[in-house]
Chain A
Amino acid sequence: MTNRSLGSQILRRFFKHRLAVVAVVMLVVLVSMALGASFSPYSPTQQDPANPFKAPTAAHWFGTDELGRDIFTRILYGGRVSLIVGLVSTLLTIFLGVAVGAISGYYGGWMDNVLMRITDTFLTFPTIFVLIILSSFLRELPYPWLKNSVLVVIVIIAALSWMWPARLVRSLFITLREREFVTATKALGGGDAGIIIWHILPNCIGPILVSGTLQMAFAIITESGLSYLGFGVQPPTATWGAILSTAQVHVYRAPWMAIYPGVMIFLTVMAINYIGDGLRDAFDPYVVHTDK
């Protein structure tokens, strides 16, 4: 038995999950492509009326769209938006969910009752319908920050997703708060906030990370879906969903427009799902690794 820290054991288990490692590499590639978007010789919004609907060539790898814009470039810039929306809204979701779940699970009683009723209410919302209403009507309110459709999409996705991590964290806290180390810390005079943040929360990291990956996949698919329907990030900002949305109109003239943005969403979401699978196995010491 070698002496290894818990962290390095988890990391070792994660790297045994070969597909998850492949997924990490793929995600790194996708992120670097989005970050390197500015190296493209084309602009994502500059129109070129002389070159609409060009099939993929050496000059335009993924062809051009109805306004002569380079689709490859637009996909790279669109990746920035999709990944930022995915990451930031996930962080926000997890933050909200952990806060609600921790308070609810740790204190119990009337506080738990009130918070869980609110959570249940949010869970019965028909998510996508409420998202569409929120997104289209918030934009019309007379506040300048609401004109930033990326920000609006991030906030509303988080506002309708925090319930899932909240329920998860609550159930973890309910069992963990009865454990001896919590009693011991209390006996030593530890305050509630300290116990919640420094003693119980670190024990929940695994499940929270896994639910974070699920949330990020959901956020990216939802953002693209909203933009696809015309209620997400607004033009001329390129996003994968928005490119797909124009592609549908021109699906006969320019089928390539519909293929690439979808492939990007698919690859990103699949990479995130596999990473989540790897994390689940890595944090679960009971998983038996057969040849995987």
Chain B
Amino acid sequence: MARYALRRVLQAIPILFILSVLLFAMVRSAPGGPLSTAYRNPNVTKEQIDLLKKQLGLDKPLPVQYVKWLGDMMQGNMGDSIKFRRPVSEMIAERIPNTLILVGVSFLVTLIIALPVGILSARKPYSLFDYIATTLTFIGQSVPVYWLGLALILVFYVAISNPSTGKPLFPAGGMRTIGGESSLLDMAWHLVLPVTALSASWAAWYSRFLRSSLMDVLHEDYVRTARAKGASDRLVYYKHALRNAILPLVTLIGLDLPSLFAGALFIETIFAWPGMGRLFWDAARGRDYPVLLAVVMIDAVIIIFCNILADLFYGILDPRVKYD
């Protein structure tokens, strides 16, 4: 298994290399490039632009710039933000924990909803509960996350207010109350709306997926054998069936990670959550290319890493899987 993990990590290197070349070429081939705002500013003279170019190393040919950028990246030096004149690594280090809090809590909430709903739906298919759950999952799968976020703000911030204080029920943005004391409770209060918006569609997908995967498994021979041996219903479901039904879900979650980060991008933008997604969005609007490149590369590394993790986890859950 260690050899398999090592091979997967080695395979990831060319993928990251291709991605970095493509992204670099794309971002840097745009005319004006990172200095387009400087070009448009009538107060900036030609000499100043040349000086800026020299300072940022933009006067050298693209391949040379790429090699330098790659070398710097490898050493953890992601360059300086053009807009904020700060090291990108510093900015990202500030933001990563916030994104992980948002995604992590949403992911937990998703599992807390999706697992029981999926299991109950599969245990009693075509029951009233199953119909309601199925309808809700279809709704959840079809609601765009950005609109759900906006709708939640509309309802719980604009329309409904706390009757005792007259203030909005939930905050519409940020991580903590400005000027207030930062506490875990305060952050939890700020998390309610973004996490609800983010988990709704994942919970819908996963519970639906688990339902169909459980129902497939329930027709398997070993489930019938377990029943024939007189195993209790609970034992059949939770020990024999669920363990196998959860396998495809692990793969799905691994493959699905890009969409989890995409959802976080929207939610962070809407709720002014100071995470990587928000940072990326601001950087994309300001053409702050060192930030753009760094965020995408880090996200790609996280995605690849989690894919490998999901595959390894699969092997732990299913001893039949052999790595070679």
Contact = CB atoms under 8 A, between A and B. Distances in A.
Given A141-B29, A225-B144, A258-B150, A126 B138 contact: no
B147 interface: yes
A126 B31 CA distance: 24
Given A247-B150, A251-B158, A141 B300 contact: no
6 contacts: A124-B303, A125-B258, A133-B27, A244-B147, A255-B158, A270-B139
A250 to B, nearest CB: 11
A273 B141 contact: yes
Contacts of B292: 133
Given A124-B19, A126-B300, A142 B26 contact: no
Interface string A255-277: 10011011001100110011001
Interface in A222-263: 224-225, 228-231, 244, 247-248, 251-252, 255, 258-259, 261-262
A126 B301 CA distance: 10
Given A225-B144, A225-B266, A126 B296 contact: yes
User: Which bracket fits the contact residues of A?
Assistant: 35 or more
A262 B158 contact: no
A276 to B, nearest CB: 10
Interface stretch (B56-64, B87-95, B242-250, B280-288): B280-288
B270 A248 contact: yes
Interface of B: 12, 14-15, 18-19, 23, 26-27, 29-32, 36, 126, 138-139, 141-147, 150-151, 153-154, 158-159, 255, 258-259, 261-262, 265-266, 269-270, 280-281, 284-285, 287, 292, 295-296, 299-300, 303-304, 307
Contact residues of A: prevailing secondary structure: helix
A248 B146 CA distance: 10
A8 interface: no
A136 interface: yes
Contacts of A266: 139, 142-144, 147
Given A121-B15, A137-B30, A251-B154, A127 B262 contact: yes
Nearest to B154: A255
A228 B146 contact: yes
Given A127-B262, A217-B141, A251-B153, 9 more contacts: A124-B303, A124-B304, A129-B265, A252-B158, A266-B139, A266-B147, A270-B141, A273-B138, A277-B138
A244 B146 contact: yes
Given A120-B15, A270-B142, A137 B151 contact: no
Contacts of A134: 26
A141 B144 CA distance: 31
A259 B36 CA distance: 36
A98 to B, nearest CB: 20
A229 B266 contact: yes
Contacts of A29: none
Contact of B23 (A130, A136, A225): A130
Contacts of A121: 14-15, 18-19
Nearest to A129: B296
A138 B26 CA distance: 8
A230 B142 contact: no
A224 B32 contact: no
Contacts of A231: 284
A140 interface: yes
Contacts of B26: 133-134, 137-138
B142 to A, nearest CB: 4
